[in-house]
Structure 1
Amino acid sequence: MAPLEVPADLRVRTVAMPRLGALYARGAGGAVRGALPGGSRPSPALPSVGHRVRGVRPDVGHLTAYQHLLAERGGDELPSGYLHVLAFPVATSVMVDPDFPAPLLGMVHLANRASLLHPVTVTDELEITTWTQDLRPHKRGAQLDVVAQVSVDGEVAWEGVSTYLAKGMRVPGEAVEVERPDADARADAPIVWSLPASAGRAYAAVSGDVNPIHMSALTAKAFGFPRAIAHGMYTAARALSDVGVARGSTYDWTVEFAKPVLLPGKVAVSIEQTPSGSFTYEGRHPKSGKLHLRGEVTPR
């Protein structure tokens, strides 16, 4: 699959690498202003502005910390989950644009797909470009995609597309129901993750994603969760790591998120290889069997 084309009408703004903590502070301020009497949000249309950061140099120490936390094998090649981490601040920055139609805090991460098209190493100089697209109806509001591309020497080497739900937003059109596999079906789960209460803070330390729903029970309760929840991309990247070297140096990776993982908690993980050579994975609550996440890794 070829990478997406940058939309012809997109105005790409070159920026410095954003700091996620500052972005979340701006996002929280925007949510409060929108909720005040007389406050308003932009009309439900996506901004025609993308962001680009040039000259990104991966840090060996940071990569090593990520590899240790996610149980990724050591080496100079950057796994797809780490490239998501590098691109995430730039992707988030387009969602705090004044013209973005929904508050950053409160967006629900529904799914992700990523393609590692060419191996990327820690010695490469990266260019990261992000934009939003495809605002469309959802039964609980509206959904949209945030696209991130990592280029090396002018060629797209990695692409990630994150799909988010903006609850309560109404956009024209009819919501299309996507049929999903039976979320209550069980499969053998030879792997069980034991995630401590600090798992959210540990991933935040390497990803920069300090969304309060992941940081502590106290901050998560402010957003309606009984305890802190694990980052969805942490669980997806753990599954990617569990697939191991069989994924090859280039691969496609998808994930759909279901019930959040409360911390501390356990996740029963099953990985199966299909006749075509791809690997399907799912993570469930080990007692109830409720689905947390499901996805596929396909060597290219």
Structure 2
Amino acid sequence: MGAELVTQIPTMGSIYAKSVKTLGRKPRDPALPETVLVYQGAVSDAGKLNEYRRAVGASMNGVLPSLYVHTLAFPLAMSLMLREDFPLPLLGMIHLSNSVMVSDPLKEDEPFDIEVKSENLQPHHRGATCDLVVQIVVSGQTRMELRSTFLAKGVKIGGSAQQATAHETFTVPTRTASWKLDAGTGRRWAAISGDYNPIHLYGLSAKALGMPRAIAHGIYLAARSLAGIEPAAGSYRWNIEFKTPVVLPASVDLAFDVQEDGYQVHAWNPRKGKPHFELSLERG
């Protein structure tokens, strides 16, 4: 596995501008590149950090929220998907889940290195999945790993395809919070995160990519859920699985359940009773 040092992190806007050229990628038996992209000396931006905190209600506690770090680092991971040796199409990828491990939260003024790679290409009953992995390194030690799993529909790879699993019956829990998200939610989050994926911006651009209307960013939903529960010290891990998109405008009901070692969060459509996502956070 070869490391490649980069001197600049691209903007998400520039990535999506070039992503159209990846639409024709549907190779049989694809293989992921072994390249690791490395950016050294990343730092937070005080203005952008404050915008992030206001947008999701995160605490001003002297450390960086894990998903703020994600917004800084993820464009580098996305740039890996633009490369000629990456076999899957960037546009149309479906965001299935995120898993994050934090050994020690980053201080606001602490510089860090970013390492990104792709791995874990797997067959899926609707195509193929792979993970984009971001590692945050300080003085040679990995302080954070952020793993995003994506589905490329229609891509065939060798091996036995994953069988479709029966949907678990969702029992609506007792609501402890409720969100009202207007039609501009995706555009406002794009301005903060830099993620201008067309499925989040306008009804017409979302419909062109198979969505009924614009949908909320999964990272925004996760960041807002974590805002009041993410630890400011010590090790922890969290995971979110997306069930159904939040189609904007939307009302979202949530249940925050306190566990012995963390939290369990469920979010659902209050009118249809269908789950949107499930998030778990575990300390230690």
TM range (shorter): over 0.9
1:137 paired residue number: 123
Alpha-carbon distance in 1 for matches of 2:235, 2:19 = 34
Q: Which amino acid aligns with 1:69?
A: A
Which sits farther off after the overlay, 265-274 or 182-191?
A: 182-191
Change (3 A) 1:201 1:258: same
Partner SS for 2:98: strand
Equivalent of 2:265 in 272, 275, 281: 281
Distance 1:260 1:104 in 2: 19
The unaligned stretches of length 5 or more in structure 2 are none
CA-atom RMSD, angstroms?
A: 1.9
Structure 1 Cα separation of the partners of residues 71 and 268 of structure 2: 24
Q: Runs in 1 of length 4+ with deviation above 2 angstroms? A: 40-43, 175-184, 242-245, 247-250
Identity value in percent: 37
Q: 1:243, 1:271 within 8 Å by CA — same for their partners in 2? A: no
The 8 Å contact of residues 183 and 291 in structure 1, kept in 2 or not, is answered as: no
One-letter amino acid of the structure 1 residue matched with residue 180 of structure 2:
S
Q: Secondary structure at the match of 2:180?
A: strand
Matching residue within 129, 147, 153 for 2:139: 153
Aligned mate of 2:57, from 71, 78, 81: 71
CA distance in 2, matches of 1:157, 1:213: 32
* Unpaired segments ≥5 residues, structure 1: 1-9
The number of equivalent residue pairs is 283
Distance in 1 between residues matched to 2:21 and 2:139, nearest whole Å: 38
Specify the alignment match of 1:174 in structure 2: 160
Shift of 1:69: 0.3
Asked if 1:223 is matched to 2:209, the reply is: yes
Q: Distance in 1 between matches of 2:66 and 2:17?
A: 27
How many angstroms apart in 1 are the aligned matches of 2:166 and 2:113? 35
With structure 1 as the length reference, what TM-score do the two structures score? 0.89
TM-score by length of 2: 0.94
Tell me what 1:5 maps to. Answer: none
What residue in structure 2 maps to residue 3 of structure 1? none
Q: Distance in 2 between matches of 1:295 and 1:183?
A: 17
1:43-62 alignment to 2 at 5 Å? 44-62=30-48
Conserved? CA contact 1:183–1:290, under 8 Å: no
Q: Which residue of 2 aligns with 1:4?
A: none
Matches of 1:277 and 1:207, distance apart in 2: 30
* 1:76 CA drift (Å): 2.2
Q: Distance in 2 between matches of 1:179 and 1:118?
A: 36
For residues 59-80 of structure 1, give each alpha carbon's deviation from its aligned partner in whole angstroms, at most 9, with x where no partner exists.
1111111000011011320011
3-state DSSP of counterpart to 1:224:
coil
